[in-house]
Amino acid sequence: MLFEKLKILIIGYSKAEIKQLSVDFDRCQKQLVYQQANNLSDIQSLLDTSSWDAIIAEYSMVGFDALQVLQLLKSRHQTIPFILYTSVTDEQITLAALRHGASDCIPKGHSERLMLAIDRCMELVDLQRRKRQADSHIYRMTYYDELTGLPRHNLFCEKANLLLTSGALTDQPVAATYFININRLSRINSKHGYNVGNQLIQQLAGRLSVHSNNNCLLARSEGGNFIFFRSELADTEQAEAFAGQLLALAATPFVINSLEFYITLTIGISLYPHDGKEIGKLLANAEDALSFMKKSWPNTYRFYIQKTSQPLLQRIKIEQSLQKTINDKELVLHYQPIIDLTTGKIIGAEALVRWNHPELGLLTPDQFIPLAVESGSIIKIGKWVLHEACRQAKYWHSIHFKSIFIAINLSAIELDQFQLTNHVAEALHVTELPPAKLELEINESVLMQDIDGSTKILNELKRIGVKIVMDNFGSSYSSLNYLRRLPIDVIKMDHSLIQNITDEIDNTAMITAILALAKELNMQVRAGGVQSQTQLDFLQQINCHHAQGFLLTPPVPLEHFLSLIKHRKTGTFA
C-alpha cells in the first residue's frame, strides 16, 4: 500500500467497532493512529488542535448526522477526505452525503473496499499537494528572481500597471520610475569571480529593499540592474531626493570574504505622466536616460529628456528596416583603395557597405552593422557584400585592371557559419573571380576567441585559394604567440598603433617588431587609418607593404574608383 501510517479522525463508532477497524488496518499493513469523537463539540475541538489524513464516520449519530459534520468542514474551508463507513444503505441518504462533499460511501463490513477508498483519497490529496508545490515553484521561478528573491521584470510591470490603472495616482502630480545600474560589475566578476559579484548584488538588493512597500515597487531586471516604481511623490523635487537616497545606499562598503568593495550606481529616471503613461514606456525612457549617463560619470542620476529619445527612435527604425534591406536593393558598396607603399599604385580595394536608407539617408557601417549582428541580418548582408564585391572586382579585371584584388570584412557570426566556405566558393564560381584576388578580413579579437576553431576554418578557406587578413592586429599582445599557428597572409595593423606613431615610443617599437615577425613568417603588413604625412613617411621608412586611410583616399563610390586607379598609375602620392 502507498500510505502505511494514517492519522484518522473516527466519528460515531463504538469501542468494538474501532477495535475491528484496527484489525482491518493491520491486516492491510496500515498503522492506524486515531482519535474518536461522538459529538459536534469534540469534532470541532479536534479539528482545531490537529491535522488529519482522513475522517471515517457513521452516518447517523446521537443528536446529529454526517451531513452536519460535512457542513462544519465546509464552513471552515477544510478539505479533509471524508468517508462514510456506515450501516445505512438508503441510496437517497448516500447521494445526499456525496452531494454535500463526502469522498465515498461504503457499507460496513467491506473493509478492503474501505482501504482502497482511503488509498484513493490519499493519492488524490498527495497529487493535489504536489500540484500546489509545483505551481508555487513555477510561480516563483516565473515571477521572482532566484538570486535576490525580488520580483522579476514581469511581476514588477503587472504591479506597476495596477497602480497606474487603479486610479491611485489621480491625486498625485507625479510618479517616478528609476532604472539603477551597478557600475563596473563586470570588472568585479572578472577579477574576483561571479560568486562575489552575486553576493554584492544580494547585499545591494537588501539595502534597496528598505524602501520597498505597496507604493514603492522594487525588482531586479537583469545582471546588475534594479528598477523602482514609486507612486507616492508630490513633485519632481521628491523624485530627485529619492534618487539621492538610493545613491547613498551604496556609499558604505560591501564586505565579502573579508574584502571591502566600494561601488557606485548610475540611475536613469522617468516621470509619470510626462514621460509616459504605461510602465513599459516609462521603463524604456528611464533606461534611455541611464544609457546617456554611462557616457559621462558614475554615482549620479539623470532625468529623461525628450531629445535623448531620438537615437533610440533611429535605432528602432533601423531594426525594423533591416529584414527587407536586401530585397529593396538599398545596399551599396564604397571602395577604399589599398596602396602599395613601394610603387604608390592602387593594388586593391576594401569593400565597405553603406545603406541608402529611404528615410535616414546614407548610413555608414557603424550605424547599422552592430544591429545587423544582433538581429542575425548580417548573414544576408554579408552574402550580398561577398557576391557584389567579387562581381565588381571581376569587372575591373575585364577592363584591363587584372592586378586589383578585393577585400571584404567577415564578422564573428559569419565566421561561425557552417556554410561559410561554401558561400565563398559559390561567389567565386558565379562571378569567375580568381580566388587569389579575394581577401577576407577577420578581426584579431574574433580569431583569438577560439584559436583551434579559427585555425580549422581558415585552413578550409585557404584550400579554396583566397587570402586571409588579420584585421586590427596589435590590439592584443597575446595574439603574437599564436600568429605562427594561423594561416595568415596579411597582417593589418590596428588603427591605434598608426595614430600614435609620433607620440608613443612603445607603438613605434611594436610596429617595427610586427614588420620583423611578418618577414620571418612570410606575411605582408598593411597599415590602416593613415591620416598624416608623418605616419606615411614612417611606414615607408620601415618598409611597410601596404597602406590605406583618409590621407591617401577615403572610401569612394564605385563611379569614382576607376578614376583613382588611373590617377595612381603615376605611382605618386599626390
Complete domains list, the chain, with CATH? 5-140 (3.40.50.2300), 153-304 (3.30.70.270), 315-559 (3.20.20.450)
Question: Which residue do the cell numbers 594561416 mark?
Answer: 487
Question: Which residue do the cell numbers 554611462 mark?
Answer: 294
d(CA 420, CA 383): 9
State the burial class of residue 429 (Cβ atoms within 10 Å of its Cβ: 0-12, 13-18, 19+): exposed
Query: pLDDT tens string for the chain (574 positions)?
Result: 455 678 889 998 888 888 888 888 888 878 788 888 888 888 989 998 888 889 999 988 888 888 999 999 999 888 899 999 988 888 888 899 899 999 999 998 888 888 888 888 888 888 888 888 888 788 788 889 999 999 999 999 999 988 888 765 655 567 899 999 998 788 788 888 899 999 999 999 999 999 999 889 999 988 899 999 998 788 888 888 899 899 889 888 899 998 888 888 889 999 988 888 899 999 999 998 887 665 445 578 888 876 545 565 666 677 667 766 666 688 999 999 999 999 989 999 999 999 988 888 888 888 888 778 766 788 889 999 999 999 999 999 999 889 999 999 998 778 877 788 999 999 999 999 999 999 999 988 778 767 777 888 999 999 999 999 999 887 555 566 678 888 999 999 888 788 777 655 667 888 888 888 888 899 999 999 898 898 999 999 999 999 999 988 899 999 899 888 877 655 555 4
* Nine cell digits for residue 94: 448516500
The answer to whether the beta carbons of residues 434 and 348 sit under 8 Å apart is no
**In the chain, what's the furthest Cα-to-Cα distance?**
122
Element (H or E) spanning 463, and its range? helix 451-464
**354 backbone φψ class: left, alpha, beta (φ>0; ψ -120 to 50):** beta
d(CA 326, CA 381): 7
Tell me, what's the pLDDT at 176? 93
- 337's CB contacts (< 8 A; 6+ apart) are 346, 348, 349, 548, 552, 553, 556, 561, 564, 565, 568
Element (H or E) spanning 394, and its range? helix 378-398
Distances from the Cα of 318 to the Cα of 108, 225, 290, 305, angstroms: 78, 26, 21, 22
Tell me, what's the pLDDT at 167? 62
Question: Which residue do the cell numbers 528598505 mark?
Answer: 210
Tell me, what's the pLDDT at 481? 67
Tell me, what's the pLDDT at 118? 87
**CA torsion angle 311 312 315 320 (round to 10):** -140
Q: By C-alpha distance, which of 100, 103, 104 is closest to 74? A: 100
DSSP single-letter state for residue 364: P
d(CA 268, CA 294): 10
List the beta bridge partners of residue 180: 226, 267
Q: By C-alpha distance, which of 70, 87, 81, 80 is closest to 20? A: 87
Task: Tally Cβ neighbours within 10 Å of residue 322.
Answer: 20
List the beta bridge partners of residue 468: 440
